[in-house]
Structure 1
Amino acid sequence: MSAYDLLLAPIVDYGFMRRALVATLALAIGAAPVGVLLMLRRMSLVGDAMAHAVLPGAAVGFLIAGGLSLPMMGLGGLIAGLSVALLSGIVSRATDLNEDASFASFYLASLALGVLIVSLRGSNVDLLHVLFGTILAIDSEALVLVAGIATLTLLTLAIVYRPLVAECFDPGFLRAVGGRGPLYHLLFMFLVVINLVAGFQTLGTLMSVGMMTLPAAVAHLWARSLPGLFAVAAAVAAVSGYVGLIVSFHLGFASGPTIILTAASIYLASLLVAPAGALRRLIPRPHLAG
């Protein structure tokens, strides 16, 4: 088998592979920078909770559409995710619970409710599609939605880059100068939710957060500046999407899990060979002379 047949023919010859590749690339450039900020805020597990919180809304969209309508399920997931984010913020401010504890509580209830709704009205195949995604079946309408979310994310990050970064590193300073920290925090949670909805369109509720956290974790091992973190994370997500699709095509694996496992493999390799990895720490460094 030639290199063309191995690496390019699946993309060139099949329209569903081209749509899947475009969807993963759009997800990479939108979700990966959000994942970097999520990790800098030490909210990675909150992102995982939010990914599951969209499930009830997606299940309601499934019922309204009478089947797997990705735009309708995405709209339902967006409403559910934003509702959980707002409720968690309200609970954390009205009680002694931390925001992460509120997210964990709501996410468990949301996940159980969503699985129950889909299992009552749909088949086991429908449930698997909701949980693990249908990236190879993504249509033009869903593709436009994913691309639109990526565009909106990049534009928002460009416009409010400085206050978002300030709120990420020193929220106390932003409050002291009247920088409306809670407003930017809410805006950031909105970006998280819409990118999870985009990930849901392609990777399902259980895998969508993987394109946020794994590339961001790899970026932290290779880069030191914030623009560098964004660039490395987006590149890792894009490479994971392409390699995962090619591997799944040739070996017959499920595409969504293969993409996430590819990102996980890059992460494991980076743990060893990256500048901040384990092997570099074992190599003795010469002391500074002078």
Structure 2
Amino acid sequence: MPELPEVQALAERMAEACAGRSVARVDVLSVQVLKTFDPPPQALHDRAVAGVGRHGKFLDLTADGGPHLVLHLARAGWVHRRASFPAKPPSRRGPLALRLVLDDGSGFDVTEQGTTKRLAAYVVADPARVPGIARLGPDALAVTGEELARLASGARQRLKTFLTDQAVLAGVGNAYSDEILHRARLSPYALAASLRPGQTAALHAALRAVLGEALEHARAVPADGLKAEKKAGLAVHGRAGETCPVCGDTVRSVDFVDSSLQYCPTCQTGGRILADRRLSRLLK
């Protein structure tokens, strides 16, 4: 799933490509993708693009006069820059969910791979009307150490859940939460409210460092290569069975129904192996 660094890099690339351009048309090619009906996508037509930004993991293209095209790429969505398009929308859509064509004939294809369709598009007058944006917590790259400590002290969650709960902290997903906890040398099963001041400071430093490094990397990689290049910079996520680059221990995994987490026992849990299937206790 694209997370804050990838979505921010996409927003910056889209903003650059849209500078000085207007929206020629928006083709909604999947009946499932559009979650709103008023205003319709046609409200964006013939309007200058005022900017492209980000709210957590949501992309936000703003047209002159107010309409916003908001995209949530979910687990398997992506945005592809196109220099030109055929005159007519494709008859066979495949993974193509939405197409945004600019007045110079260039634009973007929004695609989603796989059979589970969760990609979402919204056309709204105000991004706050998108439920997922309305519930967002502070942005993960902007949160201060003091604010993070306050959020953690009142959370009845394990750290993995705390970091990935968008209502608590916006922008962090499964991959970077594993990386942040590994960098901070904290167990994903530790309770957020139990952190000592030094641990909270380490968590904040790791949050800023991991996301900052990933963003700089994402800015340097071509957009279509971002997904593949993302894993290249990860220390533990997606690397179960491999060697931890810090201590040399074997990276372990806890598997859930539709996701998993990875961690290093030596770096994060005092050598203990975490119980699987969402159990909170540690195996001795």
TM range (shorter): 0.3 to 0.5
The structure showing larger relative contact order (alpha-carbon pairs under 8 Å, at least 6 residues apart) is 1
- Which one has the bigger strand percentage? 2
- Which one has the bigger helix percentage? 1
TM-score when normalising by structure 1:
0.33
